[in-house]
């Protein structure tokens, strides 16, 4: 599903980093609303946290500003995945703590 986001959308290097796009898609799958009436607060909060941490790590979200020329971006995908996992684990830990209270 996210393959065409590679290289900032079809290898243009001009758009959002593909790792960010994929992370946002995963957040939408996990936290997205299932009806128009449902709140999208959880999804927006998780996406904002992901974006902010990505920018803290890489300084930008635009493909060409993140990548290193002539180097595959597997390192970006790996770091972005870790950021995403951290956010999801934090959410899980908060849910467990609030259900135990």
**Domain extents for the chain?**
3-100
What is the reported pTM?
A: 0.88
The predicted model gives 73-89 an average pLDDT of 95
How many angstroms separate the CA atoms of 10 and 41, rounded?
30
> pLDDT tens, 24-71?
999 999 998 989 999 999 999 999 999 999 999 999 999 999 999 999
Q: Dihedral of CA 59/31/79/14: which sign?
A: negative
How many angstroms separate the CA atoms of 40 and 15, rounded?
24
Of 54 and 94, which is predicted with more confidence? 54
* CA–CA–CA angle 1, 72, 57 (5° rounding): 85
Of 3 and 67, which is predicted with more confidence? 67
């Amino acid at each position: 599903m996210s393959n065409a986001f590679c290289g900032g959308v079809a290898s243009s290097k001009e758009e959002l980093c593909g790792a960010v796009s994929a992370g946002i898609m995963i957040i939408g799958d996990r936290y997205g609303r299932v009806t128009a009436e449902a709140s999208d607060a959880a999804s927006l909060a998780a996406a904002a946290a992901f974006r902010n941490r990505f920018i803290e790590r890489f300084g930008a979200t635009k493909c060409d500003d993140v990548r290193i020329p002539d180097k595959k971006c597997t390192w970006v995908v790996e770091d972005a995945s870790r950021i995403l996992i951290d956010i999801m684990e934090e959410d899980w830990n908060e849910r467990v703590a609030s259900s135990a209270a």
